[in-house]
Chains A and B, each alone.
Chain A
Amino acid sequence: MRILVTVKHTPDLQSQRSFTDGRVTRTAEDGTMNELDENAVEAALQLVEAAGEGEVYALTVGGPDAVAAVRKALQLGVHHALHVSDEAIAGSDVFGTAKVIAAAVRKVHDEAPLDLVVTGMAALDGLTSMLPTALAAELDWSQLTLASALSVDGGEVTIERHLPDSHETVSAPLPAVVSVTDEANKPRFPNFKLIMAARKAPVTVWTLSDLALDPAQVGAGAARTTVIDASPRPPRADRIKVTDTGDAGTQLANFLIEKGLA
């Protein structure tokens, strides 16, 4: 079983997240591997462990700091780390990013076939959840998204998917792109041995020319959307906080009535 996991470098949720020139501010200090990608790494490791053989690759696309995302994946136990980094990629939209990831996946797949690409359900900076679909389409592989459970058997992958109005079971032949939700598993914690090993583990760095990609196809220039303005929202004004001394329920009700909400 050969699996590639995509992991994104995103600002820590607990940090002061912001925009600079229409792009998410990313710094080495408060950046980390997207929390939801821990579930993707876990799903891949579990499949390989269950199969008793195989390898897991972690791949990130991003500037020099993004290497932190694949280092984190190494700490969790993936076998190989890949980092695609090229100035021309900066400012890519989801379609540009998907092109780059697809080219890197193909390069690995050409060396020895992959069975699966596993992604997180969303990157917690943009929360768009569009990349897995775009990647499956670029690769022309099966697309199975939002898996809360998955299994691989006889050349097929089967997932369970919880939508607001229905629960689905969906199957598709390998190779496939599967996105997993945070219901799929409980990510493991890195152990000391892996943390030490991850520090020294090699990370393969590819540029666009290693992937034979034309810079004009990616980056800000090719992006179909541009953030033209970003501003912090002011905190809610006139906040009221009362401590219950026996009539706070009435006060709350009166507040709703006054606002025409009750």
Chain B
Amino acid sequence: MTIAAVLIDHRHGAVTRPALEALTLARSLGTPVAVWLGEAPSADAAAQLGEYGATEVRVVDAADARVASRAAAAVGAASGDADVVVMISTFVTKEIATRLALATGAGVVVDAAGAELVDGKVETFQTVFAATWDVRTRINADKAIVGVRPNTTHATPADSPAAATVVVVDAELPEARERIVSVEPVEQGDSVPLAEAPVVVSGGRGTSGDYSLVSDFAELLGGAVGASRDATDEGWISHEHMVGQTGTTVTPALYVACGISGAVHHRGGMQASGTIVCINMDPEAPIFEISDFGVVGNLFDVIPQAIERIKEHRGA
């Protein structure tokens, strides 16, 4: 029997949608067990993990799991019997995956768009080079660690819910050299984090710093607001909104680029999105090459009209 451990991403005690996506994927790789770092989950959270197939919820209440070596040891303690460990791919989990792999001899693929078992080995799919190539990778090692991108698996409950028995795991964590001096939370408001949003509406230099239309459009479509590097460098919007190879990589069902030229650095972080739409005054802008629907026009004219039409449609 293959055991697939899933590192559960949770915020304020609630299971995130990407965590359910990871559980859904894990069900196709083996028997899922959930690994939960932090204070034990509520009964509701545990039940939800069960609905998505988790037979157990292994809780490691580790202090200072912000340090990669400690987090990796905590995950390792809870996933010793697992053949596959699945986690949502972020800058933080990539470090956990790396440390865990060094401790266990596992092979790692991060930023995967999916995975399957072929002849007993895990194979993953990824898009690379700003989503211009598809790559399939085989994990040769006996143990596999897969980091998956949000929005690449459709989260669906298991046909029959599992027990999701909560088990507390005692973990011996290494002394860390690193000391967290301070942590300042970033205000998220009610909006979905960029990486998880099903829709992203981004504004670039073409907004001239006015994000009101971009925000309105994002809200109407139930999405998050993104930005190009030029916009965050100008200080028009905070760094957390930056989409691109050095910002957040997004793969929403819909990506709307407003006043963004589509530089390769930007494309690297959004080109794998489902449907891409752009509004740009310059017909030669590279963003048109990757847009399913492109408007050559002024975003200050086009967005209000689009908003009006959608509202009218919904009202009808």
Do B107 and A233 touch (CB < 8 A)? no
B299-316, CB < 8 A from A: 301-310, 313
A173 vs chain B, min Cβ distance (A): 6
At the interface, yes or no: B253 with Cβ under 8 Å from chain A?
yes
Do A242 and B102 touch (CB < 8 A)? no
Do A248 and B98 touch (CB < 8 A)? no
Q: Which of A227, A233, A255 interacts with B127 by CB under 8 Å?
A: A233
Q: Contacts of B303 on A, CB cut-off 8 Å? A: 249
CA distance A232 to B248 in the complex (A): 23
Do B137 and A225 touch (CB < 8 A)? yes
Q: Contacts of A231 on B, CB cut-off 8 Å? A: 133-134
Do B181 and A170 touch (CB < 8 A)? yes
| A250-B268 in contact given A133-B99, A261-B254 (Cβ < 8 Å) | no
At the interface, yes or no: B63 with Cβ under 8 Å from chain A?
no
A85-131, CB < 8 A from B: 93-95, 121-122, 124-130
Q: Contacts of A185 on B, CB cut-off 8 Å? A: none
CA distance A94 to B110 in the complex (A): 12
Do B246 and A122 touch (CB < 8 A)? yes
Do A95 and B101 touch (CB < 8 A)? yes
Do B186 and A247 touch (CB < 8 A)? no
Do B185 and A13 touch (CB < 8 A)? no
Q: Contacts of B141 on A, CB cut-off 8 Å? A: 224-225
Q: Contacts of A36 on B, CB cut-off 8 Å? A: 246
B293 vs chain A, min Cβ distance (A): 5
B17 vs chain A, min Cβ distance (A): 15
For A225, give the chain B residue with the smallest CB separation.
B107
CA distance A124 to B244 in the complex (A): 12
B232-276, CB < 8 A from A: 239-240, 245-246, 248, 253-254, 264-265, 268, 275-276
B289 vs chain A, min Cβ distance (A): 7
CA distance A219 to B133 in the complex (A): 24
At the interface, yes or no: A50 with Cβ under 8 Å from chain B?
no
At the interface, yes or no: B184 with Cβ under 8 Å from chain A?
yes
B110 vs chain A, min Cβ distance (A): 6
Do B69 and A143 touch (CB < 8 A)? yes
Q: Contacts of A241 on B, CB cut-off 8 Å? A: 283, 288, 291, 293-296
Do B305 and A19 touch (CB < 8 A)? no
At the interface, yes or no: A230 with Cβ under 8 Å from chain B?
yes
Do B292 and A240 touch (CB < 8 A)? yes
Interface hub of A17, A124, A142, A244 (most chain B Cβ within 10 A): A244
At the interface, yes or no: A200 with Cβ under 8 Å from chain B?
no
At the interface, yes or no: B168 with Cβ under 8 Å from chain A?
no
At the interface, yes or no: A169 with Cβ under 8 Å from chain B?
yes
B87 vs chain A, min Cβ distance (A): 13
| A252-B279 in contact given A239-B294, A247-B305 (Cβ < 8 Å) | yes
At the interface, yes or no: B123 with Cβ under 8 Å from chain A?
yes
Do B302 and A249 touch (CB < 8 A)? yes
Q: Residue-by-residue, is A179-205 near B (CB-CB < 8 Å gives 1, otherwise 0)? A: 001110000000000000000000000
Q: Contacts of B140 on A, CB cut-off 8 Å? A: 223-226
CA distance A137 to B49 in the complex (A): 33
Q: Contacts of A240 on B, CB cut-off 8 Å? A: 292-294
Q: Contacts of B98 on A, CB cut-off 8 Å? A: 94, 130, 133-134, 137
- Selecting from A70-78, A158-166, A209-217, the interface stretch reads A158-166
Q: Contacts of B128 on A, CB cut-off 8 Å? A: 125-127
CA distance A122 to B183 in the complex (A): 24
Q: Contacts of A21 on B, CB cut-off 8 Å? A: none
At the interface, yes or no: B84 with Cβ under 8 Å from chain A?
no
Q: Residue-by-residue, is A13-40 near B (CB-CB < 8 Å gives 1, otherwise 0)? A: 1100111000000000000000010000
Q: Contacts of A236 on B, CB cut-off 8 Å? A: 276, 290-292
| A239-B291 in contact given A134-B102, A168-B66, A256-B277 (Cβ < 8 Å) | yes
A residues lining the B interface (CB < 8 Å): 13-14, 17-19, 36, 93-95, 121-122, 124-130, 133-134, 137-138, 141-146, 158, 162-173, 176, 181-183, 223-233, 235-236, 238-244, 247-257, 259, 261-262
7 examples of A-B residue contacts, CB within 8 angstroms: A130-B98, A165-B11, A225-B107, A247-B305, A249-B297, A252-B277, A262-B313
